[in-house]
Chain A
Amino acid sequence: MTFLVALVVQLLHLLLMLAAAPLAVGLGNRVAARLAGRPGPRLLQPWRDLRKLAGKQAVFAESASGLFEAAPAAAFAATVLAAALVPSFALGMAGGPLADLLVVAGLLMLSRSVLALAAMETGTAVGGLGASRSMAVAAFTEPALLLAILPLALLVGTTNLDVMAGVLREGAVGLRVPLVLAVSSVAVVAVARLRGGPASAAVPFGEAATAGDALAEEYSGRHLGLLHWAAALRRLVWLSLIADLAVPFGLVDATGSPLWWPVGVVVWALKIGALTVALALWEAGRAARPGRLAEAFGLALLLALLAAIFLYASQGLA
């Protein structure tokens, strides 16, 4: 019975993530437009775009193979699985034992690699550029992320996200310097990864090759819609992850009273909204230039290393 309830919450969580991802992008677009002095599109605009794309006829490059057609589905599936594993409003969901932080990082990497391969498959200049830049972003952010997971895992005693968020919610670890540093490192990685994605103001006009658009350049119709949806979902995964680690308060128990679920959903929505606004403010204040990735890499690495060293120096090993 308990498992059935946990399964129901798991499905609810997944549906919520799938539905909310385009909304969060809409909110981000609107805030970014307001900051630039424009009224901006409506919140539901990304959903309308998805509906429009789903009804359009797809055009495939003559040179593309079956791998090109299947890649969006594989990338979307990996992202959906990552989204299912990162808690939104409830802990103790059916997928909790699977929700390892290293696995989530691996799934996001899988989705990124599949998209890079698909972009190289058409043999176009922009696709190849996008693939190589996307992999470079991964190469410079993934090590910092894995290194930031180390002090987090040492503080909590596990890499399981479900357990980790639960321990942090109870306040058993307290507000400690290594925790703040490690979560900041994850946040820097998230900002670097989300740059150039949907709702990111930091895309220089006319230069598609810096954005995720370069990877999707040869896609159209429902396949393009799927890629946009996956990108929105990836953004929501990162924001939820930061919310789980930085402000785990308000997460409800999946096995507790269902009356608390709406409260958890509202609290989660507030957290995601606040993070979206913060991200838009951050990006609006900083011009996009090529050196940013190097800075993010150095900063995230430094924060993660400092977190580990502070932790060792304070002898706070569990």
Chain B
Amino acid sequence: MLPGLAIVAGALLALGPVAWIGGGGLAPRGALGLCTLGAVLDLIALLGGAAPGVVEVPIGLPGSGILVALDGLSALFLLLLFLAGAAVSAAALDRAAAPDPAAPFLPVLIGALAATLLAADGFSVALVFEAAALAAGALVLGGSTGFHAAAALLGMGVFAGLCLIAAMALMAPLQPWGLDLSFAGMRAHPPEGFRATAVLVLALLGGGGAAGLAPLHRWLPGAQAAVSGPVGALLAGSLGPLGSYLLLRVLFDLAGPAQPGWWGTVLVALGAAGAVLGAARAVRAADIRSIAGAAAVAQTGLVALAVGLALVARAADLAPLAALALGAALLLTVAQALGGTLLALAAGAAEAGGGTRRLDRLGGLLRGMPATTVCMLVAAASFAVLPPSLGFAAAWTLLQALIGAARAGGLGWQVFATLATLATAVAMTVGAVGAVRLVGVVFLGRPRTPRAAAAQEAPIAARAAMFGLAMLTLAAGVFPGMVLALAEPALRLLLGVGMVDRSGVLGIAPVPQAPGLAAAGLAALLVLATMATLRALRVRAAVGHHAGAAWEDGAAPPPLWLPFGDPATQTSPDGFAEPLGTVLAAALPRPMRRLRPALLHWRRAVGWADAALHPSPRTMVAALFVAAVLLLIAVVLAEQA
């Protein structure tokens, strides 16, 4: 399967120039076909156990070709990428839309991401990762307001790529003929001491930067807000998993099993911060694209938290717990790749149908866009961790791992893990509020503008793409054990133990032979109970019902010149989030309330830091150049030492 997948990735990369010459419609159509082919090939490899294999392609640096490999980890992430890529390409098949000059970069981006997952030596990973950053930058540049966002994205991409190549150079053993950058060489040469710490920092900067992990998350909502529809969905649903893959590859696989447990605590802290930040942004965001970006940040945070837990558990020799935490991380990644892409696609469809991305100008899209609404409900339920969605199964597994984490350390770690549990719970619940707000404000209620009242359903191709993703998300939520079965080769590769004794068709259990989450049974009972109640309601329908003006506490119906009612009486997007702020202000102890002026000062300082973090493109290029030179010098010094 490996040569076939490599050819698919290469064909996706080559499709860009071909489509550039051949015309606009070729890119999405070809990408759809290639992604479907890739997904099928990859699924066959994954079901066959994904035995690790390496192929050397005789092009690249003199002396060493490009190494291409497939194992359980890359096969799982490749499957997610191809599924999301196929849905995004299908959604981009809209014939009525204006031709997009950036369209040929879509297959290039998918191909470069696939190549990053397939590459098995440090040089080619960094090379194709930079290609992906370039393609993503070009796609963002194609948006109307994309210049600054594209500069930030490109800057982050170049920076993350440099960090990755530096991390891998630090891990590569020095052979007589030069640095051995192959993964096999790095595995045989695990880093120690300060070099290991440097690898951790560089991997966090590289992988975390690509994924949008907490301190480096600022570029993601910006890039997300600059592009619309399918491309935004690809950024939201595929860059996060790619960053998680890079983190897993470097910290779990290449750095070897003998790394200290505090590596994990760093990831847990960053992940918890990112999850809470992302969820809070999702509740307060004023436009529909930002919500998709904030959801991606929150989900990436939860994945990082789970990966950190797995690192801590592995260092404490608790392999079953590590497998549980890593299983949670992979389930969360699947939820991000399927549900996150679906959320962004549905948000893009709502924006296209309703004519604006501002929440306070949308509303009532359910009437014009029922199919999109149903798909958005599926995605929102997954983000809101409501049973029996995929998000709930992933969150349940993560909470079980957090409960078990108390056995992985002393009192300090236990208190830290408890606080991480609190952060996870807050992120999940606040995310649920954000999801209800998104669906309630945009799709339900009365239209807030005439344009929203005239919303039209997404084109058939986009609807089919969303419907397919929604079906996959639902099926994965009902059968999370089957998703874990697909992740089994990855777990075995990274930890040596899997979840096969604890997961099956019916559900997941935290320890073997114990009751756990019976997702399929729950879903069946829920559907059964809803059907029975609806039937009972219909039996009683003999007494009938009639339609009238909304009761609204007896207020008079709106006058004729307000066809959608009085817009001022409907809850606004800001108003929906307002009780959260009021209660939080009352919940803070009085000394903390006095801290508020100080916090405002702090925010001003953050504002300056923000301005420094969003420099003009020229400053950014210069700063990146200096950083690159410093990094290379540091790597050379480290190798000399």
Within 8 Å of chain B (Cβ to Cβ): is A273? no
Given A57-B544, A77-B533, A217-B553, check contact A142 B429 (CB 8 Å): yes
Chain A residues whose C-beta falls within 8 Å of the C-beta of B421 in the assembled complex: 146-147, 150
**Assembly CA distance A174 to B454 (angstroms):** 64
- Report A96 CB to chain B, min CB distance, Å: 7
* Closest residue of A by beta carbon distance from B384: A113
**Assembly CA distance A110 to B529 (angstroms):** 14
Taking a contact as CB atoms under 8 Å apart, the answer to whether A138 and B399 are in contact is: no
Interface residues of B: mostly helix, strand, loop or mixed?
A: helix
* Closest residue of A by beta carbon distance from B530: A77
**Assembly CA distance A249 to B230 (angstroms):** 58
- Interface size on A (CB < 8 Å)? 90
- Report B406 CB to chain A, min CB distance, Å: 6
Interface mask (B555-579 → A, CB under 8 Å = 1, otherwise 0):
0000000000100011100011111
Interface segment among B325-333, B341-349, B410-418, B631-639: the answer is B410-418
Given A136-B433, A218-B550, A305-B418, check contact A77 B529 (CB 8 Å): yes
**Assembly CA distance A76 to B531 (angstroms):** 11
Interface segment among A34-42, A126-134, A196-204, A239-247: the answer is A126-134
Interface segment among A24-32, A220-228, A257-265, A280-288: the answer is A220-228
Chain B residues whose C-beta falls within 8 Å of the C-beta of A221 in the assembled complex: 543, 545
Taking a contact as CB atoms under 8 Å apart, the answer to whether A132 and B418 are in contact is: no
Within 8 Å of chain B (Cβ to Cβ): is A116? yes
Within A112-162, which residues are at the interface with B (CB < 8 Å)? 113, 116-117, 120-129, 131-133, 135-136, 138-140, 142-143, 146-147, 149-150, 153-154, 158-160, 162
Taking a contact as CB atoms under 8 Å apart, the answer to whether A139 and B429 are in contact is: yes
**Assembly CA distance A317 to B530 (angstroms):** 40
Taking a contact as CB atoms under 8 Å apart, the answer to whether A297 and B548 are in contact is: no
**Assembly CA distance A80 to B528 (angstroms):** 11
Taking a contact as CB atoms under 8 Å apart, the answer to whether B580 and A139 are in contact is: yes
Given A106-B392, A159-B403, A163-B515, check contact A57 B545 (CB 8 Å): yes
Contact residue among A72, A218, A295 (Cβ-Cβ distance under 8 Å from B551): A218
Given A77-B526, A159-B403, check contact A128 B575 (CB 8 Å): yes
Taking a contact as CB atoms under 8 Å apart, the answer to whether B425 and A293 are in contact is: no
Given A70-B534, A106-B386, check contact A128 B402 (CB 8 Å): no
Interface mask (B90-115 → A, CB under 8 Å = 1, otherwise 0):
00000000000000000000000000
Within 8 Å of chain B (Cβ to Cβ): is A269? no
- Report A12 CB to chain B, min CB distance, Å: 17
Within 8 Å of chain A (Cβ to Cβ): is B546? yes
**Assembly CA distance A171 to B578 (angstroms):** 45
**Assembly CA distance A72 to B536 (angstroms):** 12
Chain B residues whose C-beta falls within 8 Å of the C-beta of A125 in the assembled complex: 552, 569-571
Taking a contact as CB atoms under 8 Å apart, the answer to whether A63 and B518 are in contact is: no
Chain A residues whose C-beta falls within 8 Å of the C-beta of B364 in the assembled complex: 123
Interface mask (B425-452 → A, CB under 8 Å = 1, otherwise 0):
1101110110111011100111000000
Chain B residues whose C-beta falls within 8 Å of the C-beta of A162 in the assembled complex: 515
Taking a contact as CB atoms under 8 Å apart, the answer to whether A297 and B587 are in contact is: yes
Taking a contact as CB atoms under 8 Å apart, the answer to whether A138 and B396 are in contact is: no
**Assembly CA distance A102 to B586 (angstroms):** 28
* Closest residue of B by beta carbon distance from A121: B444
* Closest residue of A by beta carbon distance from B527: A77
Contact residue among B516, B534, B575, B583 (Cβ-Cβ distance under 8 Å from A73): B534
Chain A residues whose C-beta falls within 8 Å of the C-beta of B444 in the assembled complex: 67, 117, 120-121, 123
Taking a contact as CB atoms under 8 Å apart, the answer to whether B544 and A143 are in contact is: no
Taking a contact as CB atoms under 8 Å apart, the answer to whether A123 and B363 are in contact is: yes
Within A73-104, which residues are at the interface with B (CB < 8 Å)? 73-74, 76-78, 80-81, 84, 96-100, 102-103
Chain A residues whose C-beta falls within 8 Å of the C-beta of B407 in the assembled complex: 317
**Assembly CA distance A149 to B530 (angstroms):** 28
Taking a contact as CB atoms under 8 Å apart, the answer to whether B440 and A139 are in contact is: no
- Report B207 CB to chain A, min CB distance, Å: 28
- Interface size on B (CB < 8 Å)? 82
Chain A residues whose C-beta falls within 8 Å of the C-beta of B400 in the assembled complex: 159
Chain A residues whose C-beta falls within 8 Å of the C-beta of B7 in the assembled complex: none
Contact residue among B533, B544, B549, B586 (Cβ-Cβ distance under 8 Å from A290): B586
Given A106-B385, A132-B571, A293-B583, check contact A158 B515 (CB 8 Å): yes
Chain A residues whose C-beta falls within 8 Å of the C-beta of B596 in the assembled complex: none
Interface segment among A1-9, A180-188, A307-315: the answer is A307-315
Chain B residues whose C-beta falls within 8 Å of the C-beta of A96 in the assembled complex: 515
Contact residue among A84, A131, A160 (Cβ-Cβ distance under 8 Å from B571): A131
Given A56-B543, A62-B547, A217-B551, check contact A131 B515 (CB 8 Å): no
Taking a contact as CB atoms under 8 Å apart, the answer to whether B549 and A62 are in contact is: yes
Within 8 Å of chain B (Cβ to Cβ): is A208? yes
Given A135-B432, A313-B411, check contact A97 B583 (CB 8 Å): no
Within B376-415, which residues are at the interface with A (CB < 8 Å)? 384-387, 392, 396, 399-400, 402-403, 406-407, 411, 414-415
Taking a contact as CB atoms under 8 Å apart, the answer to whether A121 and B445 are in contact is: yes
Given A143-B426, A298-B587, check contact A73 B551 (CB 8 Å): no
Interface mask (B470-483 → A, CB under 8 Å = 1, otherwise 0):
00000000000000
Taking a contact as CB atoms under 8 Å apart, the answer to whether B526 and A133 are in contact is: no
* Closest residue of A by beta carbon distance from B568: A125
Interface mask (B60-97 → A, CB under 8 Å = 1, otherwise 0):
00000000000000000000000000000000000000
Chain A residues whose C-beta falls within 8 Å of the C-beta of B428 in the assembled complex: 142, 146
Contact residue among B387, B537, B550 (Cβ-Cβ distance under 8 Å from A63): B550
**Assembly CA distance A70 to B533 (angstroms):** 9
Interface mask (A199-213 → B, CB under 8 Å = 1, otherwise 0):
000000000100000
Contact residue among A113, A131, A226 (Cβ-Cβ distance under 8 Å from B533): A226
Within 8 Å of chain A (Cβ to Cβ): is B144? no
Taking a contact as CB atoms under 8 Å apart, the answer to whether A73 and B548 are in contact is: no
Within 8 Å of chain A (Cβ to Cβ): is B618? no
Q: Which of B407, B521, B550, B551 has the most CB of A within 10 A?
A: B550
* Closest residue of A by beta carbon distance from B435: A113
Taking a contact as CB atoms under 8 Å apart, the answer to whether B547 and A107 are in contact is: no
Chain A residues whose C-beta falls within 8 Å of the C-beta of B534 in the assembled complex: 70, 73
**Assembly CA distance A291 to B587 (angstroms):** 8
**Assembly CA distance A185 to B446 (angstroms):** 40
Q: Which of B439, B533, B577 has the most CB of A within 10 A?
A: B533
Question: Residues of B with Cβ closer than 8 Å to A?
Answer: 363-364, 366-367, 384-387, 392, 396, 399-400, 402-403, 406-407, 411, 414-415, 418, 421-422, 424-426, 428-430, 432-433, 435-437, 439-441, 444-446, 510, 514-518, 521-522, 525-526, 529-530, 532-534, 537, 540, 543-553, 565, 569-571, 575-580, 582-584, 586-587
Which 9 A-B pairs have CB atoms at the shortest separation, nearest pair first? A128-B571, A123-B446, A77-B529, A120-B440, A136-B579, A294-B587, A123-B445, A58-B545, A61-B550
A-B contact pairs, 30 of them (CB 8 A): A64-B550, A72-B537, A73-B533, A74-B533, A97-B515, A98-B522, A98-B525, A99-B515, A106-B385, A106-B392, A110-B386, A113-B436, A120-B444, A125-B552, A139-B430, A143-B422, A146-B424, A150-B403, A154-B403, A160-B514, A208-B553, A217-B551, A218-B551, A218-B552, A293-B586, A294-B586, A297-B587, A309-B415, A312-B406, A312-B418
Question: Residues of A with Cβ closer than 8 Å to B?
Answer: 54-65, 67, 70, 72-74, 76-78, 80-81, 84, 96-100, 102-103, 106-107, 109-110, 113, 116-117, 120-129, 131-133, 135-136, 138-140, 142-143, 146-147, 149-150, 153-154, 158-160, 162-163, 208, 217-218, 220-223, 226, 290-291, 293-295, 297-298, 301, 305, 308-309, 312-313, 317
Other than the given A58-B545, A136-B580, 12 more pairs (CB < 8 A) read A57-B545, A62-B550, A70-B534, A73-B537, A77-B533, A98-B518, A103-B522, A116-B440, A120-B440, A122-B552, A154-B403, A291-B586
